[in-house]
Chains A and B, each alone.
Chain A
Amino acid sequence: GENVEQHPSTLSVQEGDSAVIKCTYSDSASNYFPWYKQELGKRPQLIIDIRSNVGEKKDQRIAVTLNKTAKHFSLHITETQPEDSAVYFCAASNAGGYSTLTFGKGTMLLVSP
């Protein structure tokens, strides 16, 4: 089955800095890669996703890049703000049928003012 590794487990940055979270996956058939943000005690919220037919996707301060050959994808947050502080999870799936998401272990991002 799929295995998703996520690094780092914790990340501390100053407000205004950029933050990068990296994930690798094992199943070359995976073709859908969402990122979720989870605040303490709350639901995971989809913040951006990318499919294997594109290499990069951007939404305001958030961008995701995908390298299919190396089987890794990354989340980039620019101009970080204290409200970006949360746990971020990457995931991978082989879309189709009853495909399931395999999650990384999460990255706790702390943005200091």
Chain B
Amino acid sequence: GAVVSQHPSRVICKSGTSVKIECRSLDFQATTMFWYRQFPKQSLMLMATSNEGSKATYEQGVEKDKFLINHASLTLSTLTVTSAHPEDSSFYICSARLGANQPQHFGDGTRLSIL
């Protein structure tokens, strides 16, 4: 149980393109999902907390107009990187949890490369 699916796994695109990443909880309903960014050989840095039916909560320094988050249902959250540039290249990982006092389960991640 507690399977989280993330798509796509790899994206290579030109500078200026917008990229959408999907995160789905397959066998449970997740009122809260999280989006992280991970640079090579570094830790996971929380970008935002995605709450079903309400606006996402962004961490300090994360541009909300750059990284659009939509959590339209209890099983799907999307992250859209708008007008992506080479510095946005990174490994993006989502996670979801069953409840406030429950473990987070991670998706497989999306490796984004902006040329």
Contact A98 B100 (CB under 8 A): yes
In the complex with contacts A46-B103, A46-B105, A89-B44 CB distance below 8 A = yes
List A57-113 residues whose CB lies under 8 Å from chain B. Answer: 89, 95-106
Task: List chain B residues, Cβ under 8 A from A89.
Answer: 43-44
> Roughly how many angstroms separate A73 CA and B99 CA in the complex, as a whole number?
23
Contact B108 A100 (CB under 8 A): no
Which of B101, B107, B108: most chain A Cβ within 10 A? B101
**Contact-residue size bin, chain A (C-beta under 8 Å from the other chain):** 20 to 34
Contact A106 B100 (CB under 8 A): no
> Roughly how many angstroms separate A96 CA and B58 CA in the complex, as a whole number?
18
Contact B106 A100 (CB under 8 A): no
Report the number of A-B residue pairs with Cβ-Cβ less than 8 Å: 48
Contact A105 B32 (CB under 8 A): no
In the complex with contacts A43-B93, A46-B103, A49-B103, A98-B109 CB distance below 8 A = no
Interface size on B, residues (CB 8 A): 20
A58 CB → nearest B CB, Å: 17
Contact A96 B49 (CB under 8 A): no
In the complex with contacts A32-B101, A89-B44, A98-B57 CB distance below 8 A = yes
B105 CB → nearest A CB, Å: 7
A-B pairs with beta carbons under 8 Å apart, 17 shown = A32-B101, A34-B104, A41-B109, A41-B111, A43-B108, A43-B109, A44-B93, A44-B106, A45-B106, A46-B104, A46-B105, A89-B44, A96-B100, A98-B49, A99-B100, A103-B44, A105-B43
Given contacts A43-B109, A45-B106, A99-B100, 4 further A-B contacts (CB under 8 A): A46-B103, A89-B43, A101-B46, A106-B43
